């Protein structure tokens, strides 16, 4: 018990006034002005063909990122198509 009291009165305790010194700014304040767009937008070639046409049709009515719409469309199609659709390439089994 005496050790707990001694530790509580130790100078190593958190001092709010010392934490407000200008020399020690928080990481949030340091990175506040370093805003970058991440990830970069997909190139227009990614929206080629039927999938791109569908994404552009939905994009007008949605707040979603076009890249997210494209990924969801392709993943949904792959899930709906299942394991059955495939074709042979150069004599492969």
Check pLDDT > 60 for residue 30: no
Least confident among 2-11, 27-36, 60-69: 2-11
Grade residue 85 by pLDDT with cuts at 50, 70 and 90. confident
Residue 24 CA to residue 42 CA, distance in Å, equals: 39
DSSP-based three-state secondary structure for 54: helix
More confident residue, 84 or 34: 84
- The residue-averaged pLDDT of 42-55 equals 94
pLDDT of residue 91: 74
Residue 55: exposed, middle, or buried by beta-carbon count in 10 A (0-12, 13-18, 19+)? buried
């Amino acid at each position: 018990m005496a050790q707990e009291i001694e530790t509580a009165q130790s100078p190593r305790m958190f001092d709010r006034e010392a934490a407000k010194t200008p020399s020690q700014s928080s990481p949030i304040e340091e990175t506040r002005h370093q805003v970058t767009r991440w990830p970069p937008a997909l190139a227009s070639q990614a929206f080629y063909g039927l999938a791109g046409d569908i994404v552009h049709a939905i994009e007008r009515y949605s707040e979603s990122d076009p890249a997210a719409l494209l990924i969801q469309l392709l993943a949904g199609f792959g899930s709906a198509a299942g394991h059955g659709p495939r074709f042979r390439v150069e004599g492969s089994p």
